[in-house]
Structure 1
Amino acid sequence: MLQIELWKRVVIWGLVALGLLLALPNAFYTRVETSNDARAALETGATAEGLQEQASLWPSFLPSGLVNLGLDLRGGAHLLAEVQVADVYETRIKAMWPEVLALLREERGRIGTFRLQDSNAEELRIRLNEKPDMAAEAAALVRGLSRPVVSMTGAGASDIEVTVEGPDVVIRLSEAERLAMDQRTVAQALEIIRRRIDEVGTREPTIQRQGSDRILIQVPGIGSAAELKEIIGTTAQLTFQPVVTRTTNADMPPGPGNELLPAMDEDDVYYVLEEAAVVTGEELVDAQPTFDQNGRPAVNFRFDPTGARRFGDYTAENIGSPFAIVLDNEVISAPVIQSHIPGGSGIITGNFTVEESTNLAVLLRAGALPAGLEFLEERTIGPELGADSIEAGTVACIVAGIAVLVFMFLSYGTFGVFANIALMVNVALIFGLLSLIGATLTLPGIAGIVLTIGMAVDANVLVFERIREELKTARGPARAIELGYEKAMSAIVDANITTFITAVILYVMGSGPVRGFAITLGLGIITSVFTAFFVTRLLVAMWFERRRPKTLEV
């Protein structure tokens, strides 16, 4: 007889109810989204008028997870950025000069006096003035500063190459170190861009690496590509550098090892600074907007233990000397060190507005981009295009659904009605699972749902055809139904496993829209098998127990 235990029925209907409950918020998308955003704002301490009313638009005891809409459905900004990895070489080689200087000063008795020469940006050229014949000896000393390259491909190689050219000792980065730095730079830029966009609170951005030095950035719901570039394009490179002199001459040569930078708040004022920074933004652990003692917007900052120690040591040794706070190659201020500043915390003041100080704090917390970005491609996708895509996808789903429902009813009668009910449950379960995992629905994802609607009835077709065959030989309707489900199982499992494997491969190997298609296809396969084997079978069993038909017409 066709029997399904009570506990199995409870589990099946429980899973169906849970799936429908998880999918419910998507039927009230705008209301739930507004409520979620208001609750998130309240959690951060926001006190804007109307937030409480917006938060109460959706009951807190109900699930509030939504299927996030992708860029092609919601509209937003698309950028393709190229990381200027060559910028990092110059910064890295310049940062070596203080260490090289300290080493050679200790050996001045052997090698004599020396001077840093002007050279190209990717090398340090040091000339021995008194004892040029000791250049090889000096080069050997500098080679002692080399470190092994930290990478899989450069294992065993040194990070610098030191050569002798006449009286000059020339220091360059090795090829293995450049390759390793390229990998680290792009990975760091990727993470910092992600952190900056997350700070702004955008929903479900797509940020992924393309090729060796490019990053694809897609952010749904943002106003324009220009707005997105403002968020991620600012390098926010904060440094604290010793001041050599102040001048109004924009053409003044800064000298080797120095640089000439303009003052941010003073016209025609420039500072000559030592290129080697005392502390950089990489050692910053926190930055918050605040107000200075005069009530003007400012930014509080705090360094990590390493940065705090270096900052404290420098201020202790240079009381009475000016030092510059530099942001993106502009001197924000150049105060005189009045006393030792322990603890590694301080304040950045300037002619900021409240909004500017808040944005600066966000950028500093997110970290400094290790290299500049060149935007190769930028597009703004309007929300009206997304609305058109949603409408087209909805129409496709409705047309496909109606066609399948009509076909199943005409082909299998009452059993077709059961399959149709299971199909509607199937679609609801897909949206419930998408909401549960926080997946992003794209236009290809909608295509995956449409395909699932067509494929979802395959299992039922196999079962019903098998029941037809068993009716010719089985002893009764109940046995025919039972054998139909049992003997169709292997064919259904085999067909869906192969399709599921394809979906997994698409997800692993693909990116962006391909992954969106793979997710909805894979989830659709899981829900299709569940509804065919359990939901439809339970409906048939309940109908059979109620009607007890002597014959079946499938």
Structure 2
Amino acid sequence: MKARGRIMLVIMLVIAAALSFVSYQGIGEGKTLSAGNIKQGLDLSGGVYIVYEADKEDVTAEEMQAAVSLIQGRMDWNGWTEAEVAQEGTNRIRVDIPGVENAEDAIREIGQTAQLSFVDETGKVLLTGDMVADATKQVGATQKGGNAEPYVALKFNDEGKQLFAEATAANIGKPIYIVMDGEVISAPMVQSAITTGEASITGNFTGESAEELASLIRAGSLPFNLNVIQMKNVGARLGADALATGVKAGAIGLALVLIFMLVVYKVLGFAADLALIIYVGLELILLNAFNITLTLPGIAGIILSVGMAVDANVVIFERLKEELVQGKTLRVAIKNGFSRALPVILDGNVTTLIAAVVLFFLGSGTVKGFATTLSMGIIISMFTALVVTRLIVNGLMQGGCSNPKYYGMRSK
């Protein structure tokens, strides 16, 4: 029995050490899964964020998605590959661009409206994007007897139908260039005059690239403008200071909690501390593995979830001590202590998790960052409190640390 308990303790210590090493040093030359590789938000890394709003009421989800695709494409064209574009609410789009110092310059680079046009080999504009009624990704045979493949289907309005018929009739055997903001995004070859007001763009498309092109074309024919309603610069130095302050606060808080638990709960405090180290290692590694963007409120969410993890252990230990005071054996006290604490821990954590989920879906920006780390922290803390701590406590008991006084037994 003692050997099994000690083996369990050794396993837990090795897991804690391994998680600590990986979260600090990472794996391989790229330091995969290390805390240093966690993606940082603008408030930590510096950059600009811009919020756009559609100047039209009752914007559809498809129109907003097209606008998101348009702006993301412009980010890529400008070399801002780390930029993030996301819809907020029903009619707003948030753009985060790390490493850019001037928000107004970024706005000028991005532009506010799409400029889509169809031109011939001489550069003559044949028709414009506002004449495209719809553009969608389709999958099917593009020629007789051919295999099914992705392509982009275009549909023009009445004016566009007439102009496109004239353009295709005059350019048979020649390409018509589809140009977005001065960039050629496609150059389909005209095979025959098209008078139906519908056309298809074929090529070596994947499903993803066909959907991307369709989104760009739809964006070029958006019936609304995107107006800038908010913009803000975050200096790189300010972001670095915020990160250093947040990490320092988290480290001090964690150290104080570890010392407090060890002093007040002794053997049980050691079990809680070891479980807490495993918790922190798991949290940092999972943030990296899931490519979650860490923000300053996100750090606050981590610190808050550390407190909740400790609170769960405190509830368990107090129930365990109550069982010992009632004269139960240590083995029975441990079993009953965890069983009695389970409903309380679940109730408290599930209600907080529900609030975090609501914040995630209804909030935006850094609020989502807080909700994400808090939700992840709650789930991991329940696992470490109810599973990891129990394994450690049982390992201590079976390994020879079986005197009830070490577990906080007190007289009635």
User: For 1:181 and 1:509, how far apart are their aligned partners in 2?
Assistant: 18
8 A Cα contact 1:78 1:219, kept in partner: yes
**Partner AA of 1:390 in structure 2:** L
User: For 2:60 and 2:200, how far apart are their aligned partners in 1?
Assistant: 31
User: For 1:493 and 1:219, how far apart are their aligned partners in 2?
Assistant: 39
Q: Structure 1 pair 230/487, CA: closer, same or farther in 2 (3 Å)?
A: same
Q: Structure 1 pair 19/486, CA: closer, same or farther in 2 (3 Å)?
A: farther
- Give the equivalent residue in structure 1 for 2:82: 203
Shift of 1:27: 3.0
Larger Rg: 1
Shift of 1:426: 1.0
**Which residue, out of 295, 300, 307, partners 1:447?**
300
8 A Cα contact 1:241 1:324, kept in partner: yes
Point out which structure has higher relative CO (alpha carbons under 8 A, 6+ apart): 2
Shift of 1:15: 12
**Which residue, out of 423, 427, 430, partners 2:283?**
430
User: For 2:213 and 2:108, how far apart are their aligned partners in 1?
Assistant: 11
User: For 1:417 and 1:14, how far apart are their aligned partners in 2?
Assistant: 11
Q: Structure 1 pair 19/524, CA: closer, same or farther in 2 (3 Å)?
A: farther
Shift of 1:305: 5.6
Q: TM-score, normalised by structure 1?
A: 0.54
Shift of 1:373: 3.1
Determine which structure has the larger helix proportion and give its number: 2
How does 1:520-535 map onto structure 2 within 5 Å? 520-535=373-388
Q: Structure 1 pair 324/431, CA: closer, same or farther in 2 (3 Å)?
A: closer
User: For 1:305 and 1:364, how far apart are their aligned partners in 2?
Assistant: 8
Q: Structure 1 pair 234/491, CA: closer, same or farther in 2 (3 Å)?
A: closer
What secondary structure sits across from 1:68 in the alignment? coil
8 A Cα contact 1:241 1:277, kept in partner: no
Is structure 2 residue 341 aligned with structure 1 residue 463? no
User: For 1:495 and 1:401, how far apart are their aligned partners in 2?
Assistant: 21
Shift of 1:306: 4.6
**Partner AA of 2:68 in structure 1:** L
Is structure 2 residue 51 aligned with structure 1 residue 80? yes
Shift of 1:411: 0.6
User: For 1:547 and 1:395, how far apart are their aligned partners in 2?
Assistant: 38
Unaligned runs of 5+ in 1: 33-55, 86-178, 243-262, 265-270, 286-302, 333-338, 347-361
**Which residue, out of 254, 271, 274, partners 1:421?**
274
8 A Cα contact 1:238 1:281, kept in partner: no
How does 1:461-540 map onto structure 2 within 5 Å? 461-540=314-393
User: For 1:279 and 1:313, how far apart are their aligned partners in 2?
Assistant: 13
User: For 2:61 and 2:33, how far apart are their aligned partners in 1?
Assistant: 41
- Give the equivalent residue in structure 1 for 2:207: none
8 A Cα contact 1:77 1:224, kept in partner: yes
What count of residue pairs does the alignment treat as equivalent? 362
Unaligned runs of 5+ in 2: 138-150, 185-190, 203-211
User: For 1:508 and 1:187, how far apart are their aligned partners in 2?
Assistant: 17
**Partner AA of 1:188 in structure 2:** A
**Partner AA of 1:399 in structure 2:** I
Shift of 1:447: 0.6
8 A Cα contact 1:4 1:538, kept in partner: no
User: For 2:181 and 2:369, how far apart are their aligned partners in 1?
Assistant: 42
Q: TM-score, normalised by structure 2?
A: 0.70
RMSD: 4.8
User: For 2:266 and 2:130, how far apart are their aligned partners in 1?
Assistant: 81
**Partner AA of 1:27 in structure 2:** Y
1:50-97 C-alpha deviation (Å, 9 max, x unpaired): xxxxxx8327xx658943211111111111223344xxxxxxxxxxxx
How does 1:90-489 map onto structure 2 within 5 Å? 185-197=63-75, 200=79, 202-203=81-82, 205-210=84-89, 212=91, 214-233=92-111, 235-240=113-118, 304=152, 306=154, 313-315=165-167, 317-318=169-170, 366-367=216-217, 368-369=219-220, 370=222, 371-489=224-342
Q: Structure 1 pair 237/363, CA: closer, same or farther in 2 (3 Å)?
A: farther
Q: Structure 1 pair 515/4, CA: closer, same or farther in 2 (3 Å)?
A: farther
- Give the equivalent residue in structure 2 for 1:69: 40
Q: Structure 1 pair 304/510, CA: closer, same or farther in 2 (3 Å)?
A: closer
1:480-539 C-alpha deviation (Å, 9 max, x unpaired): 222222222222222222222222222222222222111111111111121112222212
**Partner AA of 1:314 in structure 2:** E
**Partner AA of 2:30 in structure 1:** W
User: For 1:512 and 1:454, how far apart are their aligned partners in 2?
Assistant: 24
- Give the equivalent residue in structure 1 for 2:29: 57
